[in-house]
Structure 1
Amino acid sequence: MGLEAGSLAESTAGHDKGSYFFILREEGEYIYLVDGKYRRMECPKKKKKKHVKPLVWEKHSLEFKSRENNKVTDEEIKYFIRCFKREEQVVRR
């Protein structure tokens, strides 16, 4: 899984380094990221692909929902990222 619309990514550069984002769409060498809290669907963050790292997570229900062209809300994205963070903390301990 790479940097595809509907998947999760971690920022590796910039002031938001280490933050998790949902990939809204991609255009050329850029991707548009949202986190549901600071970066909402109306104003996604434009970032170069080389400055983010794709994250692999088996529970990717939003990925399928976004690919089916269903509307994904900011609340769903925020919840999705929060669940990923919780599961990652459990695995690291």
Structure 2
Amino acid sequence: MGLTTGAFVKSRLGHDKGGCFFILREEGEYIYLVDGKSRRLNCPKKKKKKHVEPLLWEKHSPGVKIRENKSVTDEEIKHFIRCFKREEQVVRR
């Protein structure tokens, strides 16, 4: 999976380094990221594509709704990211 609309990514650089986001939309070399908490759907973070890396975690992802232009809420995004981080911690132990 590449860096397309609806993809689940992790920030590699910047003050949000290590943060998980969904790509809301693309414009050239830039993408607009949302996490449902500090970056909501109405105010996405603009970032260069080269500053993020894709994460391969698609189980019932809100990214599918974003890709299909279906209604998605900040709460759904925030909940998904919280669950992902929780599972990631379990795997690391």
Q: RMSD across aligned C-alpha pairs, in angstroms?
A: 1.1
Name the structure 2 match of 1:19. Answer: 19
Gaps of 5+ in 2: none
**Is residue 85 from structure 1 mapped to residue 85 from structure 2 by the alignment?**
yes
Amino acid at match of 2:87: E
Which consecutive segments of 4 or more residues in structure 1 shift more than 3 A? none
TM-score relative to the length of structure 2: 0.93
Q: Deviations over 1:32-81 (max 9, x none)?
A: 00111111111100000000011001414312222221111100000011
Gaps of 5+ in 1: none
TM-score relative to the length of structure 1: 0.93
Q: Kindly, what percent of the aligned residue pairs are identical?
A: 76
Q: Distance in 2 between matches of 1:19 and 1:48?
A: 15
**Is residue 63 from structure 1 mapped to residue 71 from structure 2 by the alignment?**
no
Q: Distance in 2 between matches of 1:38 and 1:66?
A: 18
